[in-house]
Structure 1
Amino acid sequence: MKLLRKLFGAKPKVEPIKAAPIPVAAIKPPKPVITLDAVEQTNDESELLKLAIEGATSQLRQAAAEKIHSREILEQLAKAVKTKDKNVFKIVKTKLDLFKAEDAKLAELEASAIRICEKLERHSHFEADSLFKAKLTVLQTEWDAMGQVSIIAQSRYQSALAACDAKINARAQAIADEEEKLSLDQQALQLAEEAYASLKQLAGDVYRASHVDELINANYELKIQELGNAVRLAANRQLPLDRLTKEFEHRKQQTLNLIDQIKTSGTVKQLTEKLEQAEDSNVVKSTQHKLQQLIKSAKEFGDELPETLKDAKAKLDALWAERHQTEQAAKNALRDFSELARKGLWAAEQGFVRKARAIQKELQEKRAQLSEIPKGIQAKLDDFEAQLAKLGDWHEFAVTPKKEALINQMQALATSNIAPENLATKIHELQDSWKEVSKGVQQQDDELWQQFQQASAVAYAPCKEFFEVQAAEREKNLTKRRELVSQLQQYLQGYDFANAVWKDVEQTLKTARAEWQTYWPVPRKAGNDLQKEFENLMEQLFGKITSEYESNKNAKQGLIEQAETLVNAADARAATETIKKLQAQWKSIGKSWHKEDQQLWQEFRKHCDAVFALRNQVFEAAKEERQAITAQAEQLIEQLNQFTTQTLEQLNAAKTEIESIKAEFVTLDLPKEVAKALQNKFNASLAAIATKRDSARSQAEEQSWTDLFNAINALREYELAVIAQTASDKLDAQKANLETLIANTPRWPTGTLNLVQQRLIKADAITSADQVTNTEQLHTLTIRAEILAGKESPAEDKQVRMAYQVKQMQQGFGQRDNSFDPLVLEWVALGGVTTSVYSQLLARFNNSRAQGVKN
């Protein structure tokens, strides 16, 4: 402390400022005394208004003002005391502020109600879809939370709500009408189908009628007409009954024709009985024709034949079969007789006497069984008899030259170069010809026979060697076939068919069959026995393949059945996953018979395609739903974006609506692919609203500071006018303007309004001494602000600043200003400073305050 005194010197002594004398008002004659009891006893607001204005004491005026509650009276009182009685005006203004606050609250409530009404009116123009009622419920919930609103808003809300309800009711009625129409259409369709079924049954009843009189008494025509009326009534509902109506009319006409036909020819039962009893062929034929016409008519119906017609048809078929059998037997007998005559004629012409005579005997036996012979066959028989008679005469003379010719031909074969196989064939043909020529000859020529036999032996010698080589080849092939059979036996016994590669097994079957065919020829008897053994082995191998193929076929049919059950599955996604697994199983199953395998695959693929088509439908529906949700989210974001252009007051009034939009957005199940982007846009819109609100608040805050300093500057000018003892009328006018300025200022920084009002109350008593003191304190306050902001003070104030800092250190180390708010409040309380000094200090103070806000 001593060091500080040495540096800065001793503390200067401050001379006390003497207070200016207070002027004393002249004493006026006393007025009639009105006590507080009078105020308490009266409730007449007109009397209270008079007391609040003219009351003798401030306490009395204030008490009277406190008891006034009528807004109209309070407004009259405010005008009367605005520039006269600050305390009463303060009371009145507080009460009026409550009214204004209530008005603002009601106005905000009314604005919110109007916005809900507008939303509801817009909503009433939309189609009543699945989300219509849910959105309406949200708006109703918002309205129910509103509280009391004006009758106009209520009426508007009720009108819009009624329109929405009308939409819902209209939609419900449309659905009900559609359901009723569908029900009536279903009933009409069922009625038409039942009429068609009844018409079918009626046709059966017609066939079952036992007598024409029964048919007439049943009055089937009237019944058919009634059924036709039922079908026409159903068709009048614009149902897809064209095919049914056409079929009904066609069957109706057929049934009417049938009734007319039976009335003319008789019933089926009558015709059947007549057919059984008739003996005349014409009657039988006529009855058969009538029954055939009835059967033909029944077949045109396309239905199963009635039992009566089935019995009649069976009897007709039996008669026709018997008749046909008789006629066919006669035709066959004639055909055989004619063919036998032809063969006899040919044998006779060729000189085969023995054969011709055998045929002659057989023809004579068959001739006795025939009732009559057609002229053509008889002529052929006559030619045969004549030719046979001629043959008997010269046959004996023609045989020897033929035999000699056959011997010459056989001898010529002995020296020919014909292949052994062909040579053997030629030898057999000549031997057959020798036998044929020898038939019917009474005596055999032994010498010619011996010559023919010797020539045959010589000619056959080359064939014998050839056939011995062939026999060796057959034995060799037989041996190879036996080896092949042995290999097949080993294959069947040793192959692991449980883990078989069936493609290789099938190839083995084909290869074995092809190899077997190459080992040919073989000895007949041994080859036949071995062929049976081979076929048995092949059947076993083929059976294993068949068993595997059938197993694969059954497995694939099982997969087809599973796939078919998935076609109408409720969960398309799960059905798709299951069908993919079934497809994988299908690939793991071996093949079956080619044609059946292709058919099974086509059926399986049809069900798979149906499931995938269902999945695509579900995906498309989900896509549309996601698009609708995305559009709804975009609409909500656009609604938020509209708030970014509104004022702070409008934003405050729309707080409930913004919260409602936020709540509605949160309830949306956003699609994954756009959820992040939409959420970011939504957050950006909310951030933009918050930025707009913060900016507006900042601007309002800044404006409140501007308004504050404008008000205290005007108050300072009024104080200077009081110090300058300006005329009272000018002071009153200046004060009235000042009070108006204060009253009309919408917003004040926290705690400043009360200080301004207190300073205004004290303004009338301010003195020059107060001016000096306030100037010094304002100067010090400016330096304190510069110290707090870390700014340098002007050179002329450095000494004062240092003195202040030392004083602060003396009073308490570390005690110093740490906020501008107390400094501002102190600034507001200091008045009467001259304009030249105040302007400089205010500029320095505001710069420091601005610097402090930045820091």
Structure 2
Amino acid sequence: MPGFLRRLFAPRWQHPDAQVRCQAISRLDPARPEQRQALEALCLDAEASVRQAALERVDSPETLLELLDRQPELAEIRRRLVVLLSGQSGGLDLPQRLRIVERLDDRELLSRLALEGDNQQLRLAAVARLTAEEDLIEQACDNGIAAVRHAAASRVTSEAGLQRLVQQARRDRQVVRQARERLNRLRTDAASLAAARAQRETLLAKLEAHARAPWEPLYAGRFRHLVREWEALDDLPGIDQERRFQEASQSCRKVISDHEAQEHASAETDRRREQAAEARESLLEALEESLAGLPRGDRVTGQDIASLRAQKVLLASRWQALSDLHVTDEALRQRYDTVLRDYDEILVAWERLESHAAEIEQAVREKDAERLRTSLEACHWPDTLPPTPLLARAQQLLAGREEVEEEAVEARLERFAQDLAQLEKLLDHGAFKGASRLHQSLRHRADSLPAASLRPHQATLKRLGARLAELRDWRGFVAGPKREQLCQAIDQLAGDAAITEAELDRRHRQLVRDWKGLGDAAASRELSEHFRSASDRIHERLAPWRERQASERMRNLEARTALCEQLEALLDVPAADADPDALRRIRDQAREEWRRHSPVPREQAQAIGRRFGRIRFALQSLIDQRAKEVADAKRQLVDEAQALIEHPLSPDARAERAKGLQQSWRELGRAPRGEEQTLWREFRTACDQIFAMREAQRDDRVQRARQRLDEMQTLIDRLDAWQPTRYADSNVLEQALDQAATLEPLPPGRRTEGMRRRWSGIVRTRRERLARLAVVEEIQRWQACRSLLDAHLAADAACLEGSACEDVPLDPELDLPEDMRSAHNQRNASRRNPPPTQEVSERLARLRVHLSLLSMGRVSQHDEPLRLAIQVERLNEGLGRELSRAEEVRIVLRNLLATGPVSPEQWQLEVSELDSLLTRLTRLPPP
């Protein structure tokens, strides 16, 4: 079909001409589906007029919402929806409109419905669907319904939004007040949160500083106190704060655990030192007992000397091993030196006797008394020791009595009885070795004692010998299997090729000690040779390793010698202000280095051990001396701190001096252990008391500041509630200002700044009201003398009409001030000598312009020259002092009374404007 015909037969709503389409809209029936579709198509037409006409035919909000979803940019659809949903047209009932509004999400549409809705419930529903804070602020400021404004304002939560409400919501004071309260609360919460965070930061800084600090007696207590303060805070810490807290806590716990480990190690060291001292003392007692028992015997034999030598070797070996680990007590060292000296004397005497034994033996055989006497003198055998059998025979030969004992039989029998009792005690305790030696000695002495005298003790000796034999048999019964086990064990050890040399040596030494510990119990030649051959194989296998050990011992000996030389050099010239803590560290490090360079050759072990023991004793003496000096210095600091409590200083100055004392305390080092804790407790108590006094003063200062703030707040509230009603009430304001001046200075802070701003605003408002009241009172006094002005106006009119110019008398009941009386007299005088009419008109105009400036603050353009002249006049009359508004009003009214004569025409031109200006001046600001 040609285009012309297609356009001719096409529906009119599809016509190319917009006017035709507009005409066709009125013929479309929305009730018919096909025409409703056409109408919906026309609602989205490209021509605005067609769209507007089609939308006016649509009364279904659902249809309009579908169209809006298809074309969101069309503002006509939103306008039509606003018209329908707001109740302006369409006839939709409220529940239906509410259901539709509750499904809307379009910000612009909801905002307009909240502003233009015909029902409060509808507006509230629209506001409830708004989410953007800008839209809520707009509703809180511009909505015409108070409930809607309040609902919108209650959903504004941000600080910026509340600040905008305070500034823009001028039409609703409740919204402004609630917004200001919420804003203040939000800021208070933010300030509290910031204060809490700052408090956490302060605690973190203290905890981190505490973690870096060295240990002191109250270290753990301070750490627990800081942790309790951290846990007592109400707010939650941030991730970074929690991480820093955990790191600082871990560092503090490490310091505490390290100190506890050090204390435990120190206690363990003390325990081992005590054990070493006990072991040394037991060895000393054993050797002392042997040395003390030697003079009590009848004879000294080679077996006794061999036993002494074995005990001395054991004592020296154990003593050196213990000295390598622990410092020897000075009393034990003296006992040790005494025992060694006694032992050396006995050994030297024995060696002298051995060197002359052959000569004595030959002299005894030859019975050469002279030669025997010379040999005995050369032996110089000690008188405290009993003689050897050889010496006894020689002495008997010299005395000429071979059968006579050197000592009385009674004394020998008495010692014999005592030794029998001692033997029984040893058997009761199971001491086989000591009992065996003593029994052998008793049997030997029994042969030399008379049989008749010995008969009472024979039965006891025999009985104790039987008990000793029984003990020997029992030991042999037990020791036999043990010896076989030791032989098997040493065979297995000798054949074990996988074991290390150190372990092989340790286990071999243990087996040898166990074998020797059995003594002669169940001993046999075959087992002894078997054990010895296996031991020799182990010795051959360990020979290279022992050579390496020997070279290592030499290196350790050289290192120990160098260590001793360094310590001796330190002790030769000690520093006068040597830190005892540094000396303690040197001592501990020297001890560790000494232990690290172990073992050393046995021949030099005793000598180097004694040397190191003397050095350590001297070093400990130096430490104790310096620690005592530190204790004296710290005791002086304690006295200064205690004296500082009573010193007449301010608490802050006293606290600063206490801090200086604390710094001096930290620089001094540590006193002796027990005294350090005691001094620290006394010093800490004094410092705590000083700081408590400072805190008490600060609390008192804070309390007084808080009290001043509360008094200032009460004064502000009282002045805010007070509204002056007359100018004479200005003394109330002056008293309030004087009271506020007595409360200064106020403590700095957000509360103080807010109070200052509020106080300044209240004072400014009250001053302004008092100034207006002063103006009102001036105008009221002027109104009281209005009858006088009317009388002057009547007299002026009569005088200007040609009648007699009479003076207006002053009413006696009218109480006029002096300046008004002067103005009254001037008005009467001007009537007698009237100025030109033009001059009077100019004066009235100036007075009107002056009142206009005082009431409105502005004048018309043609009165601008008068305004400038008035400004100059105000400066001249004020004499450099700015006049108050009441004074200027009084001047204007006085001049108005003095200006004349005024014709009725002139007065009618100005009176209405003057009355209007005076009425404006009498209006008071709202309270």
TM-score (norm 1): 0.38
Larger-Rg structure = 1
